[in-house]
Chains A and B, each alone.
Chain A
């Protein structure tokens, strides 16, 4: 196919979609004003709307004709209540709007990685795969997914135009060779780029007469106070052992690689790591850190936080902080929680290593790819592109008008039913039936979602505190490995990460003495961390050269 022909088709397609969008917005003035209102709050997200109104076309319009069916591999949404996405109103609406029937293939909850690997091993892929469990570049080389570079302008004009208008995001989404391999999850607003951080009992802080702690020393004082004066038997508790790693940021290190002005370093080899371990060991020994933290679960954390067993933890603003504030116990009446900035060592400094902060393009989850076994690439691409249209944007962020949201003064506003479920479901669960914004997926997230989703002032404050850090300077951008690099890298890093995980637990719990710390680092070097760093460095250099 010649370049000319491609671009001609692309243009036609783009025009066509925007016609559809126009006709939709004319039929509902409300939804077009919704777009402009969300555009106010975020320049980037406004592109979704403007894109569709710019171009003009004649032919293509949703829903597509014919009984089109696609298979879609994706983790089940609202897994607590649901076993098939096809039962959710949001997906039903999306199928109706696009004219495509989706057969979902869901991995077993908790075994997504295994199920995904097994699907690849079988050679029998779904048409669309939405998975973070393998690198797109490798999947392309393995012939599992198709290159979308020519597909996007042709069949996914909404996404394509969005990327063209946002070159910085485009740079993140493309790979080093300038190819598009996926339909990205995009968080255009800083408010959407951080969703979690430290959470503590505010009423206990008040009881202790303490300000929000900023340094590790203040944290120690706070935790000790919780233990001695507030009756917390496990002052600091986490939902998973890896959440402990969040405390590393204070020592200017992270549990992965760091981009130190263009030079890659491995967080565990940085100076602060030993001091971090020693502090955690001290907390553990003094009974400040949950003795069961290595096998802790979300459910244990919920119980501990709600029953006054624990007073400090790490979690997200919605499904943790929000859920707890909703469920807060009758006793004590003053029960309250607050977000906290990530601690630092010296008062007055700002944390630079909160690596849970995301770039606009999320390279950790939410993207969708089309496989080589998809017989109808156009339908698949158009189905996915729907998420980037005006109507799709509204659906994936706000759900169905009249059910999950209504337009209030031109602003899409979630309905009361979303917040007060008769069965006592949390907001994230009720919303999960109608939107994808609570999670991730191939679409552009709208900041209007988060500001409503975080109903309480505590959540909004927490978001402000968590996002107040200089993070992006040290976080690795969404770099891409070649298949060869990825194979070598994962065979090195799988061993190293398993090793570090289990050794870290032993240092923290005191099973291993710090005399053995040097031997521990030596072992990491022996496992060839240098090569892994080199691979990362090469990829970072290529990224910076994009």
Chain B
């Protein structure tokens, strides 16, 4: 940060800000022109909606303006009503549960997979394995959820196979206890291969001389993994982990909406799906926006904290 500032500052130390700005824009107008559509895009599709969150503090309806006269301001009414609602603790709990379960089971899986693929001696076999494990990533969410729906019905193939092991023959998507496992396992099935790419890339970047040196020192495979491979991909792991932790309260609604039903709301309804139902089905846009804004703010705070911690603990940080 300070580096680039210094560079600019030293160039025009004695000029006023405006003069420097004008000179900079004149000199680099081409680049600014290139960036113009980009900036407009961000203003319209990201910053305008941020402005639109004012309806969280209003009793807004399509017929009323958001700003100026006619806007009906109600302060924190919708937030308070959400905090006092029966659904507040539930959607919060479900969001955290689903998110943490996905993190605990879903995060290590691709790291492990990458390590194992890396250990395959036959590189041709390794390539085939890679091709196959990446495949599910390309299945659309709708098809994935459609397949889940078909497989875990009471006469679905998964249910039938599990019933051999004593599981009841039921539609698993109707059992609130099974929603999170279904969600997490299908996530891993679909994402583990794709997720491993990044670690495999990091593994290829490991200096082969380190291994040769270790071998000369007589270190076994296990020790090499522990002392060379893992340290080498640790930065990647940390970055990935930070990004995941930052999303602890943001579980997307798309997969939830496709899989849940009223039987499983109790464990499946998360903040985003709640916002969707409130805002688009029950037509309570102000309330839904309030819930969404609450979520955005919390997410932001979490990312800031996580980033701070990781910045302190190591050199690796996002910002």
Task: Tell me if chains A and B make direct contact, with any CB pair below 8 A.
Answer: yes
How many whole Å from A110's CB to the nearest CB in chain B?
A: 12
Residues of B within 8 A of A144 (CB): 62-63
B204 on the A face (CB < 8 A): no
Cβ < 8 Å to B, chain A residues 282-298: 291-292, 294-295
Compute how far the CA of A468 lies from the CA of B17 in the bound complex, rounded to whole angstroms: 86
Cβ < 8 Å to B, chain A residues 115-149: 117-118, 120-123, 134, 142-144
A295 touches B282 (CB 8 A): no
B284 touches A494 (CB 8 A): yes
Query: A117 and B283 in contact (CB under 8 A), knowing A291-B154, A511-B176, A527-B86?
Result: yes
Compute how far the CA of A490 lies from the CA of B277 in the bound complex, rounded to whole angstroms: 13
| Residue from the list B85, B262, B282, B285 in contact with A241, Cβ < 8 A | B262
B86 touches A122 (CB 8 A): no
B294 on the A face (CB < 8 A): no
Compute how far the CA of A142 lies from the CA of B285 in the bound complex, rounded to whole angstroms: 15
Which among B154, B176, B263 has the greatest number of chain A C-beta atoms within 10 A?
Answer: B263
How many whole Å from A83's CB to the nearest CB in chain B?
A: 20
Compute how far the CA of A494 lies from the CA of B278 in the bound complex, rounded to whole angstroms: 9
B62 touches A122 (CB 8 A): yes
Cβ < 8 Å to A, chain B residues 240-277: 261-263, 265-266
How many whole Å from B245's CB to the nearest CB in chain A?
A: 31
Compute how far the CA of A21 lies from the CA of B265 in the bound complex, rounded to whole angstroms: 55
B62 touches A121 (CB 8 A): yes
Residues of B within 8 A of A121 (CB): 62, 285
B160 on the A face (CB < 8 A): no
Residues 136-180 of B, flagged 1 when their CB comes within 8 A of A and 0 if not, give 000000000000000001100000000000000011011110000
Which among B174, B262, B281, B285 has the greatest number of chain A C-beta atoms within 10 A?
Answer: B262
| Residue from the list B59, B85, B87, B173 in contact with A295, Cβ < 8 A | B173
Residues 484-495 of A, flagged 1 when their CB comes within 8 A of B and 0 if not, give 000100110011
A499 touches B86 (CB 8 A): yes
B35 on the A face (CB < 8 A): no
How many whole Å from B111's CB to the nearest CB in chain A?
A: 36
Compute how far the CA of A441 lies from the CA of B280 in the bound complex, rounded to whole angstroms: 25
Compute how far the CA of A526 lies from the CA of B153 in the bound complex, rounded to whole angstroms: 36
| Residue from the list B171, B175, B265 in contact with A498, Cβ < 8 A | B265
B170 touches A291 (CB 8 A): yes
Residues of A within 8 A of B171 (CB): 291-292, 295
B174 touches A502 (CB 8 A): no
Query: A294 and B62 in contact (CB under 8 A), knowing A491-B284, A494-B282, A499-B86?
Result: no
Residues 23-50 of B, flagged 1 when their CB comes within 8 A of A and 0 if not, give 0000000000000000000000000000
B221 on the A face (CB < 8 A): no
Interface size on B, residues (CB 8 A): 29
Q: Please, which residue of chain A has its CB at the minimum distance from the CB of B261?
A: A295
How many whole Å from B154's CB to the nearest CB in chain A?
A: 6
B62 touches A502 (CB 8 A): no
Cβ < 8 Å to B, chain A residues 472-514: 487, 490-491, 494-495, 498-499, 501-502, 505-506, 509, 511
A523 on the B face (CB < 8 A): yes
B263 touches A142 (CB 8 A): no
| Residue from the list A294, A490, A511 in contact with B282, Cβ < 8 A | A490
B283 touches A134 (CB 8 A): yes
A113 on the B face (CB < 8 A): yes
B227 on the A face (CB < 8 A): no
Compute how far the CA of A526 lies from the CA of B266 in the bound complex, rounded to whole angstroms: 18
| Residue from the list A113, A118, A123, A526 in contact with B63, Cβ < 8 A | A123
A142 touches B86 (CB 8 A): no
A168 on the B face (CB < 8 A): no
A96 on the B face (CB < 8 A): no
Which among B59, B265, B281, B282 has the greatest number of chain A C-beta atoms within 10 A?
Answer: B282
Cβ < 8 Å to A, chain B residues 278-292: 278, 280-285, 287
| Residue from the list A292, A505, A523 in contact with B262, Cβ < 8 A | A505
B61 on the A face (CB < 8 A): yes
A114 on the B face (CB < 8 A): yes
Query: A292 and B282 in contact (CB under 8 A), knowing A144-B63, A499-B86, A502-B262?
Result: no
| Residue from the list B63, B153, B154, B265 in contact with A143, Cβ < 8 A | B63
Residues of A within 8 A of B283 (CB): 113, 117, 120, 134
A142 touches B284 (CB 8 A): no
Residues of B within 8 A of A292 (CB): 153-154, 171, 174
Query: A142 and B265 in contact (CB under 8 A), knowing A291-B154, A495-B86?
Result: no
How many whole Å from A107's CB to the nearest CB in chain B?
A: 12
Query: A502 and B85 in contact (CB under 8 A), knowing A113-B281, A142-B61?
Result: no
| Residue from the list B81, B261, B278, B285 in contact with A294, Cβ < 8 A | B261
Residues of A within 8 A of B175 (CB): 511
Residues of B within 8 A of A498 (CB): 262, 265
Residues of B within 8 A of A117 (CB): 280-281, 283, 285
Q: Report 30 cross-chain contacts, Cβ distance below 8 Å, ordered by A residue.
A: A113-B280, A113-B283, A114-B281, A117-B281, A120-B61, A121-B62, A122-B62, A134-B283, A142-B61, A142-B62, A143-B63, A291-B154, A292-B153, A294-B262, A294-B263, A295-B173, A295-B263, A490-B282, A491-B284, A491-B287, A494-B282, A495-B85, A498-B262, A498-B265, A499-B86, A502-B266, A505-B263, A506-B176, A506-B263, A523-B86
Which 9 pairs from chain A and chain B are nearest by CB?
Answer: A142-B63, A117-B283, A294-B263, A114-B280, A120-B62, A143-B63, A494-B282, A292-B171, A505-B263
Show the binding face of B for A, using Cβ within 8 Å. Answer: 59, 61-63, 81, 85-87, 153-154, 170-171, 173-176, 261-263, 265-266, 278, 280-285, 287
Show the binding face of A for B, using Cβ within 8 Å. Answer: 113-114, 117-118, 120-123, 134, 142-144, 241, 291-292, 294-295, 487, 490-491, 494-495, 498-499, 501-502, 505-506, 509, 511, 523, 526-527
Given contacts A117-B280, A120-B61, A294-B262, could you give 5 more A-B pairs where the C-beta distance is less than 8 Å?
Answer: A295-B261, A490-B284, A511-B176, A523-B86, A527-B86
